[in-house]
Chain A
Amino acid sequence: MTRRLAPYSVAIAGALLITGAIALISSRTSVPGLSAFYLLLVLWLGARWGRGPAVAGSVAAFLLFDYFFVPPIGTFTVSGPREFLELVVLLAVALVTSQLAASLRRTQAAAEGLATESRALYELATAALRSPEVTIALSLLRERATRLESVTRFDLVAMDFGQVTQLAGGELSQDEVKQAAWSHENRRPIGIAVTEGAVKLVRTAPVSSAPAFLPLANGVVVIGIDAEHPDPADLRMLAALIGLAALLLDRRRAGLEAERARGFEASDRLKAAILSSLSHELKSPIAALRAGLTALVAPQARLQPEQRDLLLDLDRQADRLDHLVGDMLTLSRLEAGVELEKEPHRFADLIGTAMRQLRSDLKGHDVAIDIADDLPPVEVDEVQVGRVLTNLLQNALEWAPTSGGIAIGGAAKDGHLEAWVENDGPAIAPADLERVFDTFWTRRARGSGLGLAISKRVVEAHGGTIRAENRRRGPRFTFTLPLARVTAKR
């Protein structure tokens, strides 16, 4: 009470003090317009305490001035328009200055409030973003949010790959989890409206104890606002906190994704390591077998011809086993996701390499090669596509009549390479045209059924397609590969 009255006492005391001063001055010398001193007081009062004290000060000043200095001195009578004008001016100055000062003070108070708010938010944000544990940072946010008077609840759940994880705040009821999931899935808030990004929060539902759900990119924030007219400052803070929460959820998600990627990578590495040790374990005994069997074939071993033939048969079997194991390992590597080393290559070079690898098998066969001179290079993994070509050529060799026709070629078509391998052997049954690429499917009693399956996987890994069809003269395998976008340079 005394605190509220103090400005008024100061106003009256000030008016009395100035009256004394004016009396002192005018007793010595005659100075006109000394009443202007009161204006200073009123100005100061208005700026310092606002309208009330300023008006009080101006009334007191007027009365005192009128009583002591305006003739007839010693009375409160206002005799002429001059005195009346003086009173009005004093009062008007009091009102205007106090108004100005008051609005100035309000602006200042608001600015101070905002500064405090943003400082608090800044501190919170740095603390939250610095915290290595996102959940700790989120609890900091939650704690700050629930300190706001209008906010009763601020819970955060993350939506990870279709799974709901409670991050900050109390346990959600089953119903609330469902609502949160719905809100996230449909990207629609429940019981709350957000305008201009996350700047303005408007309750849509009548104020109730039911929480509102606001979906973010990687989660949902569950908010309780408990006030008829929530403080705008609180809502501002809440919006800022939600923005921060969205940022933290994004960070958390990025971390999770990196972890997942590392997990996949580790499992790929593990698969590759297992396959490589498996290939060593499977192939080493075959290597010893073949080295031993072929050693004894030399004439210096002095074996009988039928013994040598038997060894050669055995070596062929060992070789077959080797290819079978090789194909199986290749297929599992492709399935484990082999990394393609794509580079521009001339398709003719690739055919040349494949033909060279099979040169002893190709002897006596007439292979027609049809490649245009100006065929642009293909963008492929040389080794993997080499497998496709050797597999298709081997397949053609097995079915083409002895010394009979095999054709291989390629041409640019619709921005990619269309290549083919044909043979003049028996047609493939129409029902089998699709199945030839299935793993372990084979037309022969002794085939592994892996060559075409491997070819299909390699072609598809390059974004191409492969198909089998029957021409009039025999089967044809057609596949596509990407063309390189390079210009040859020196």
Chain B
Amino acid sequence: MSGRVLVVDDEVEMQRALKTGLSYHDFDVRAVGSGEEALREAAAWRPDVILLDLGLPGMDGFATLRALRPATRAAVIVVSVMPGERDKVRALDLGADDYVVKPFGTEELVARIRAVLRRQADVSSGEPVVRSGELEIDLARRSVTVNGRSVHLTPTEYELLRYLALHAGKPVTHSTLLRQVWGEYAVGDKYNTRYVVAQIRKKLGDNPANPRYIVNEPGVGYRLESG
């Protein structure tokens, strides 16, 4: 078994399709139709990944996410139909690990699930080196290399890259980056993060029009490509 996946969706057809599709990819799947059931099942069954639809009847997706986060170590992938960028940011800020826009193909979903599971494994193993293509970030030695060539970053640039590396593969919101790099009371100017990311890309030899390492999550923030 690749892992336990809890599907939270109020549509029976969707539940059935996901149960079948994910089980073909060796996942152990259970499905529930409400936030309350999701909380119960998360505590009792201890899934590795929770696929949480935001449009739930009764206790809505955000409320469920808020209640789930302190109660479970499972990765949460938020699923939603045409979410606005604000919804994505809100979900990420509430502790979601990723989001997937409905409709999606099974392959794409499986890839996302595997990515969050891999990230969980990396975090628990405490691996001090994060890799993204030819980019290597050694968190213990605070060194950054591309293709073995050492890259010199300013402290601000390193802090931003380090935070993205710690969450490699996960979209990180602008507000989180601002808070993490500039401190709790940073004035919310997204152009600051954009400017620093542009500087980092330049030093890493990354083309902004075709980035390999740090990719934009439009309206949300940035993500460091993992692996």
Contact = CB atoms under 8 A, between A and B. Distances in A.
Nearest to A408: B209
A280 B13 contact: no
Interface string A336-361: 00000101111011011101100000
Contact of A326 (B18, B82, B191): B82
A297 interface: yes
Interface string B97-119: 00000111111010000000000
Given A279-B82, A298-B24, A489-B195, A352 B106 contact: no
Nearest to A329: B82
A346 B81 contact: no
B85 A383 contact: yes
- Interface majority SS on A: helix, strand, loop or mixed? helix
Contacts, number: 128
A53 to B, nearest CB: 83
Given A287-B81, A318-B103, A343-B190, A349 B208 contact: yes
Nearest to B182: A490
B218 interface: yes
Nearest to B106: A294
A343 B191 contact: yes
A488 B198 CA distance: 11
Report the interface size class on chain B. 35 or more
Contact of A298 (B16, B106, B198, B208): B106
B103 A322 contact: yes
Interface in A305-341: 315, 318-319, 322, 326, 329, 341
Interface in B23-76: 24-25, 55
B14 interface: yes
A265 to B, nearest CB: 18
Contacts of B125: none
B21 A352 contact: no
Q: Pick the most buried of A279, A315, A322, A348: most chain B CB atoms within 10 A of its CB.
A: A348
Interface in A272-315: 276, 279-280, 283-284, 286-292, 294-301, 315
Contact of A287 (B21, B103, B194, B196): B103
Contact of B191 (A279, A294, A351, A486): A486
Contact of B14 (A287, A299, A318): A287
Interface residues of A, number: 48
Contacts of A343: 190-191
A355 B195 CA distance: 20
Nearest to B12: A288
A490 B107 CA distance: 41
Contacts of A289: 103
A369 B210 CA distance: 9
Interface string B167-204: 00000000000000000000000111011101000000
Nearest to B107: A294
Contacts of B107: 294, 297
A382 interface: yes
A386 interface: yes
B20 interface: yes
A356 B211 contact: yes
Contacts of B196: 490
B120 interface: no
A99 B22 CA distance: 112
B129 interface: no
B2 interface: no
A371 interface: yes
B58 to A, nearest CB: 16
A288 B219 contact: no
A383 B81 contact: no
Q: Pick the most buried of A291, A326, A341, A371: most chain B CB atoms within 10 A of its CB.
A: A291
Nearest to A302: B24
A371 B25 CA distance: 43
B53 to A, nearest CB: 9
Contacts of A280: 55, 81-82
B17 A292 contact: yes
Q: Pick the most buried of A319, A341, A343: most chain B CB atoms within 10 A of its CB.
A: A343
A341 B219 contact: yes
B24 A348 contact: no
A353 B17 CA distance: 31
A352 B210 contact: yes
B209 A348 contact: yes
A476 B194 CA distance: 30
Contacts of A341: 85, 219
Given A300-B24, A353-B218, A291 B103 contact: yes
Q: Pick the most buried of B25, B105, B156, B207: most chain A CB atoms within 10 A of its CB.
A: B105
B216 interface: yes
Contact of B11 (A284, A355, A382): A284
Nearest to B19: A295
Nearest to A345: B194
Contacts of B194: 344-346, 349, 377
B17 A288 contact: yes
B94 interface: no
Contacts of B207: 348, 352, 369
Contacts of A276: 82
B215 interface: yes
Contacts of B81: 279-280, 283-284, 287
A290 B218 contact: no
Contact of A283 (B13, B102, B195, B218): B102
B209 A291 contact: no
B205 to A, nearest CB: 14
Nearest to A370: B209
A451 to B, nearest CB: 17
A299 B194 CA distance: 43
B17 A291 contact: yes
Closest 8 CB pairs of A and B: A295-B21, A291-B17, A287-B103, A292-B17, A300-B24, A298-B24, A348-B208, A294-B106
Given A297-B106, A349-B198, 5 more contacts: A276-B82, A288-B14, A294-B105, A295-B17, A377-B194
11 contacts: A283-B103, A284-B14, A287-B103, A292-B16, A295-B20, A348-B208, A351-B208, A352-B216, A353-B216, A383-B218, A489-B195
Interface of A: 276, 279-280, 283-284, 286-292, 294-301, 315, 318-319, 322, 326, 329, 341, 343-346, 348-349, 351-353, 355-356, 369, 371, 377, 382-383, 386, 486, 488-490
